């Protein structure tokens, strides 16, 4: 049942999918995590791909329909108890391990290249989070924020890599955990630019990014009011003196289109022997006037003006929209908004399934872009959202082709066995229509 060694161009998609998740690796990891002890009933490879290419694209909206899909594609009949018991803590650990493996595999190759303006950097990383609404019976485990009634939600936190054209890391938190507490700064940020949402705004975090050799761009928080200590661009005529003034005092009086200054912000160091040391840090602040909004959009960064000017800083921050597109894909195409169960293990398992579906989708997307580039097509026209629609519509064919490639096939008697199992109502005591007259 392993991947075929002989390379055939007509199986290119199946080959890259098997390279991402080799059948042997899936089976070994399933055994290691305790998902399967024997392979009599459950084939870890068939189970994995049915989850990703069936439920993951929203074709199967319930576990019962997903079970029928597995029985059809996996050449076996299962009892209800055997199926539902699979969605266990072991399954959650298994799927999470698959996510980590998939992210690491995709990150090995550069699927996109930074422009000449950014050629001195390793990557541009975008961090953000989204809330997944859950069954209200899970409110004790995952309570919602600012809700008038009992509600539950979990926060999906992701870091997206522009170069890998995919997620670099992913984690789950309770909805009440602040975004700033999910930001993990370390040596990994060296020579990389982080585009951060206001939820992650923290002067201490920006300082740690600088101390680790990294770079950042963030919108200036409304409550922040740093002091201007130097001006990078001067205006002709009767320009006001900015040095020593607070940003909030200056912006309403400005007549210029753009502002480019160095500011000083307060930071709080970690407590040492019960005392918290106060300090200051210098960053670059840029502001550009937005005609439609009638106000300045203000950004804080440590990227110098020699590398990116004011307009380029604002434009680069706009690239954060890419992470919003990922959340849109996950929710509208990969079943992240279809998790209606009150079983917490099933919830976590299906969240990881949605993420795995996105990883597989991006892998094939990158291959399609590469093949199109060889034909001289314009890469910009291959948009993520359009791709996700096409991928979802063709996932069933992907599943059939992949299982055939892996020699997982069925004959006529297999179909009879599956139909016999699926058509038999498991509810023994349910009253049936007119059963007192005929059966």
Q: Write the CATH number for 122.
A: 3.90.350.10
Q: What is the 3-state secondary structure (H, E, C) of the chain?
A: CCCCCCCCHHHHHHHHHHHHCCHHHHHHHHHHHCCCCCCCCCCHHHHHHHHHHHHCCCCCCCHHHHHHHHHHHHCCCCCHHHHHCCCCHHHHHHHHHHHHHHHHHHHCCCCCCCCHHHCCCCEEEEEEEEEEEECHHHCCCCECCCCCCCCEEEEEEEEEECCCCEEEEEEEEECCCCHHHHCCCCHHHCCEEEEECHHHCCHHHHHHHHHCCCEEEEECCCCCCCEEEEECCCCCCCCCCCCCCEHHHHHHHCCCCEEEEEEEEEEEEEEECCEEEEEEEEEEEEEEEECCCCEEEEEEECCCCCCCCHHHHHHHHHHHHHHHHHHHHHHHCCCCCCCCCCCHHHHHHHHHHHHHHHHHHHHHHHHHHHHHHHCCCCHHHCCHHHHHHHHHHHHHHHHHHHHHHCCCCCCHHHHHHHHHHHCCCCCCCCCCCCCCCCC
**Residue 57 confidence (pLDDT):** 77
97 plus 127 within the same structural domain:
no
**Residue 8 confidence (pLDDT):** 43
382 plus 410 within the same structural domain:
yes
373 plus 280 within the same structural domain:
no
Question: Does residue 41 contact residue 47 with C-beta atoms inside 8 Å?
Answer: no
Q: Is residue 335 part of a domain?
A: no
Q: Closest Cα partner for 173 from 403, 434, 348, 391?
A: 348
308 plus 394 within the same structural domain:
no
Q: Is residue 269 part of a domain?
A: yes
97 plus 129 within the same structural domain:
no
321 plus 215 within the same structural domain:
yes
The CB density around residue 44, as the number of other CB atoms within 10 Å, is 20
40: phi then psi, degrees, rounded to nearest 5: -65, -45
Range of the domain at 173: 116-327
The arrangement of strands across the sheet holding 275-290 comes to 166-174, 152-161, 123-134, 192-196, 215-219, 295-301, 275-290, 258-272, 227-231
125: phi then psi, degrees, rounded to nearest 5: -110, 140
121 plus 101 within the same structural domain:
no
156 plus 94 within the same structural domain:
no
**Residue 145 confidence (pLDDT):** 84
Q: Is residue 3 part of a domain?
A: no
**Residue 312 confidence (pLDDT):** 95
Q: Is residue 282 part of a domain?
A: yes
Q: Tokens 């490879």 appear where?
A: 45
Q: Tokens 């954060």 appear where?
A: 320
**Residue 373 confidence (pLDDT):** 78
Q: Give me 181's structure tokens.
A: 């507490």
> Which parts of the chain register pLDDT below 50?
1, 4-8, 237-238, 410-424, 439
205 plus 88 within the same structural domain:
no
Q: Is residue 305 part of a domain?
A: yes
75 plus 200 within the same structural domain:
no
146 plus 283 within the same structural domain:
yes
**Residue 107 confidence (pLDDT):** 83
Q: Is residue 192 part of a domain?
A: yes
Number of structural domains (the chain) is: 2
101 plus 120 within the same structural domain:
no
Predicted TM-score of the model (pTM): 0.79
Q: Is residue 390 part of a domain?
A: yes
| Residue that terminates a domain, selected from 327, 356, 376 | 327
Q: Is residue 334 part of a domain?
A: no
């Amino acid at each position: 049942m392993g991947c075929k060694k002989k390379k055939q161009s007509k199986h290119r998609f199946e080959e890259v999918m098997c390279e991402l998740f080799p059948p042997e690796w899936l089976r070994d990891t399933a055994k290691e995590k305790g998902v399967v002890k024997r392979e009599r009933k459950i084939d870890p490879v068939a189970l994995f791909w049915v989850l990703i290419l069936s439920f993951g694209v929203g074709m199967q909206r319930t576990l019962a329909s997903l079970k029928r899909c597995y029985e059809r594609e996996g050449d076996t009949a299962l009892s209800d108890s055997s199926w539902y018991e699979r969605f266990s803590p072991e399954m959650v650990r298994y799927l999470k391990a698959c996510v980590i493996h998939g992210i690491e595999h995709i990150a090995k190759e550069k699927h996109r290249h930074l422009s000449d303006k950014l050629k001195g950097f390793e990557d541009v990383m975008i961090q953000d989070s989204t809330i997944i609404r859950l069954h209200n019976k899970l409110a004790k485990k995952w309570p919602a924020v600012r809700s008038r009634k009992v509600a539950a939600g979990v926060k999906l936190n992701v870091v997206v890599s522009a170069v890998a054209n995919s997620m670099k890391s992913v984690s789950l938190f309770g909805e009440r955990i602040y975004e700033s507490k999910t930001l993990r700064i370390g040596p990994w940020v060296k020579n990389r630019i982080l585009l951060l949402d206001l939820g992650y705004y923290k002067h201490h975090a920006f300082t740690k990014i600088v101390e680790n050799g990294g770079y950042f761009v963030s919108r200036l928080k409304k409550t922040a009011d740093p002091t201007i200590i130097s001006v990078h661009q001067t205006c002709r005529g009767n320009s006001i003196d900015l040095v020593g003034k607070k940003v909030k005092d200056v912006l309403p009086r400005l007549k210029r289109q753009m502002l480019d200054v160095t500011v000083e912000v307060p930071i709080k160091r970690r407590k040492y022997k019960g005392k918290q040391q106060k300090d200051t840090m210098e960053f670059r602040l840029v502001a550009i006037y937005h005609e439609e909004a009638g106000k300045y959009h203000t950004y804080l960064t440590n990227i110098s003006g020699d590398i990116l000017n004011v307009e380029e800083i604002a434009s680069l921050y706009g690239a954060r929209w890419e992470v919003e597109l990922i959340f849109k894909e996950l929710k509208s195409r990969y079943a992240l908004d279809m998790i209606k169960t009150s079983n917490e293990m099933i919830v976590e398992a299906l969240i990881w399934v949605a993420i795995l579906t996105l990883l597989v989708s991006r892998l094939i997307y990158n291959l399609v872009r590469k093949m199109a580039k060889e034909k001289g097509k314009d890469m910009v026209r291959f948009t993520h959202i359009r791709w996700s629609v096409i991928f979802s519509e063709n996932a069933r064919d992907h599943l059939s082709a992949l299982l055939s490639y892996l020699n997982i096939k069925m004959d006529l008697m297999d179909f009879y066995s599956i139909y016999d199992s699926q058509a038999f109502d498991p509810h023994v005591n349910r009253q049936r229509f007119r059963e007192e007259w005929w059966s």
